[in-house]
Structure 1
Amino acid sequence: MPHLSFAFRRHLTLTLVSLAALLGGCAMQVPAPALSGPAITIYAAGDIADCRWRLPSLSGAAATAALLTPLLAADPEARVLALGDLTYPVGLPAEFTDCYAPTWGRFRERTLPVPGNHEYYTPLAPGYYGYFGAAAAPERSGHYAVQLGSWRVIAINSAISGPAAEAQLEWLRAELSEHRSRCTLAFWHHPRFSSGGHGDNARLAPIWTLLAEAGADLALSGHDHDYERLAPQDSAGRRDDAHGLRQFVVGTGGAQLTPFLFTSANSERRDNSTHGVLRLALRDDGYEWEFLGVAGNFQDKGAARCHARSAAK
């Protein structure tokens, strides 16, 4: 009997393992929520124009710009979010005029930008602020906010530190308290959480905490040259599907793609095989997302509802 018992247990174990493998290979589809209101479309990516080794017309930025051109022509109200590191290597004015302008520069009047670390490799980022002018924020602070339909869209400068970063944090606290839209999106360059080569960035924790505790819905960033979608997370980085802040990393605007380092705890979808952009449809009570690649078979799309905002602490 002990032998039969062992055999039975072994048979049961193998059966369960096979069943688990079968279920794992057939991902369950979660029904998308029915969202209301017309869509405001946003196309987002960072890490864009690098012409050090090739002409602008042959660059990765040219490929993503070609992807965007007909989409923006078909929707005059759509906007572009440029998620930092817009030129390489050091953000000189000539890099913007000679490399960015021939590609993503055709969308400049429809672009909401933020700077990255490469813009600041030239002190004070004169190329970035000179190129985008008033759209890059008053007094060259790099942070600002706009209203797009029912959405509050907040641009944050993640490339600063010291007193400038402290002043920005106070501005963000006031912004979240004074403008309590149903849905909130924030975007900056350095991701708070990432499976890419740069990994998590603890320096962004105060910004993440303010946004998460205020009930913001979406955070977009670049820096790692890949695409990643993470599950909603609370102020401490714990998964919270009901109230958390969802982050996308979209460093696929044209610069050379880079490997993943490890898998972040709440990572849901990742790819570093193709350049592309994230398309967001911002509706009255939620959002739809879809990654649009210039090549390859990678796909990622879905939808989620916004959650009620609370006052920032």
Structure 2
Amino acid sequence: MGVLLAGLSLAALAVWQQTNPPASPYRPAQRAQRLAATALVTDYFAGSAAQIRFAVIGDFGIVGEPAAQVAALVRGWQPDFVVTTGDNNYPDGEAETIDANIGQYYQEFINNYKGQYGPGSATPRFFPVLGSHDWRTAQGQPYYDYFTLPGHERYYDFIWGPIQFFMLNTNPEEPDGTRATSVQGQWLQKRLAFSRTPWQVVVTHDPPFSSGRHGSSDWMQWPYAEWGADLVLSGSDHSYERLERDGITYVVNGAGGRTLYFFREPLEGSQVRYAADFGAMLVEATAQQIQFQFITRTGAVIDAHSLQR
């Protein structure tokens, strides 16, 4: 849908970047050139808050419990915004089911909301990625019709406070490809190279690495760390897992409401695995730290982890 700036100018973005430098700033001349370029390299700039609080949900798009209980948990946190790891609309991504599956529980976060469950949000606060079930109907057309997302909506990026998020489409039929050398892969590499926020977070549906039922998605095993990512969030496997690979953290978070899956043999680097109950992630971030927890629908904290600068 084009570039969204939430009422903030590109000059405001450049000012924010100048006053929130990364850990290893460039020399002044190089830095000025880099800032001039990066002022344009994002699909949506939400604001310059020094501290943010957001939720991550995955594989959640179904009516009734336990998805409703996970949604109540998330709303109770009063997050600034919600990120999803896909499979937002079971079973087949159809227009007839999308509002009941999503809007019924999350309308207060959805900008330009078109459904029947409330007024929606005045600004974008719900950032999904396409899942395999969302793709089943017309390669996601009901999803595009329902949401107003940055860029061309299949994959996009946005900045909120100290994090730039890169929201990928991992469906193998993606027109721009799903390999590191594809158009989408090169888009990510370039956007990461130009990113000037303290943190870079990649969000996918199919997990690059997973010990769960579906397992690892080799077509998404891109060189995220080499390109500059700090954290990769994924779904697809209906469980929670945290892994440390290639010097960065990978999280599989697909326990948002659909039937839970079992684990296979743990992969190298797997630190935490949980599939006993449904839940979501609560994340808080500053320029110096990202702290996240996986919390069940009953409030039990299963994992707590932090990334430090």
Q: TM-score range by the shorter chain?
A: 0.7 to 0.9
Rounded Cα–Cα distance in structure 1 between residues aligned with 2:188 and 2:273: 29
Closer, same or farther: CA 93–188 of 1 in aligned 2, 3 Å: same
Secondary structure in structure 2 of the residue aligned to 1:41: strand
The one-letter code of the counterpart of 1:90 is D
* 1:292 corresponds to: 295
* 1:130 corresponds to: 145
Q: Tell me if structure 1 keeps the 8 A contact 2:59–2:235.
A: yes
Rounded Cα–Cα distance in structure 2 between residues aligned with 1:62 and 1:94: 19
1:214 Cα deviation from its structure 2 partner: 2.2
* 1:64 corresponds to: 70
1:60 Cα deviation from its structure 2 partner: 2.0
**Alignment partner of 1:202 is 2:218:** yes
More helix by share: 1
Rounded Cα–Cα distance in structure 1 between residues aligned with 2:267 and 2:299: 24
Q: Of the candidates 254, 257, 260, which is equivalent to residue 257 of structure 2?
A: 254
Secondary structure in structure 2 of the residue aligned to 1:99: helix
* 1:144 corresponds to: 156
Q: Deviations over 1:188-215 (max 9, x none)?
A: 101000010011111102xx31x21023
Rounded Cα–Cα distance in structure 1 between residues aligned with 2:290 and 2:301: 21
The Cα RMSD (Å) is 1.8
Query: TM-score, normalized by length of structure 1?
Result: 0.73
The one-letter code of the counterpart of 2:277 is T
The one-letter code of the counterpart of 2:132 is N
Q: Which runs of 4+ in 1 moved over 4 A?
A: none
Q: Equivalent pairs: percent with the same residue?
A: 30
* 2:35 corresponds to: none
Rounded Cα–Cα distance in structure 2 between residues aligned with 1:38 and 1:291: 23
1:43 Cα deviation from its structure 2 partner: 0.5
Rounded Cα–Cα distance in structure 1 between residues aligned with 2:196 and 2:301: 36
Structure showing greater radius of gyration is 1
* 1:121 corresponds to: 136
- What does 1:33-182 align with in structure 2 at a 5 Å threshold? 38-50=50-62, 56=63, 58-72=64-78, 75=79, 78-109=80-111, 110-133=125-148, 135=149, 137-140=150-153, 142-161=154-173, 163-165=175-177, 166-182=182-198
* 1:213 corresponds to: 226
Closer, same or farther: CA 259–298 of 1 in aligned 2, 3 Å: farther
In structure 2, stretches of 5+ residues that fail to align are 1-48, 112-124
Aligned pair count reads: 244
1:178 Cα deviation from its structure 2 partner: 1.8
Rounded Cα–Cα distance in structure 2 between residues aligned with 1:267 and 1:80: 25
Closer, same or farther: CA 304–125 of 1 in aligned 2, 3 Å: same
1:163 Cα deviation from its structure 2 partner: 4.7
Q: Tell me if structure 2 keeps the 8 A contact 1:158–1:188.
A: yes
Closer, same or farther: CA 106–62 of 1 in aligned 2, 3 Å: farther
Rounded Cα–Cα distance in structure 2 between residues aligned with 1:106 and 1:49: 16
Rounded Cα–Cα distance in structure 2 between residues aligned with 1:98 and 1:178: 39
* 1:185 corresponds to: 201
Rounded Cα–Cα distance in structure 2 between residues aligned with 1:255 and 1:104: 17
Q: Tell me if structure 2 keeps the 8 A contact 1:63–1:294.
A: yes
Rounded Cα–Cα distance in structure 2 between residues aligned with 1:255 and 1:105: 20
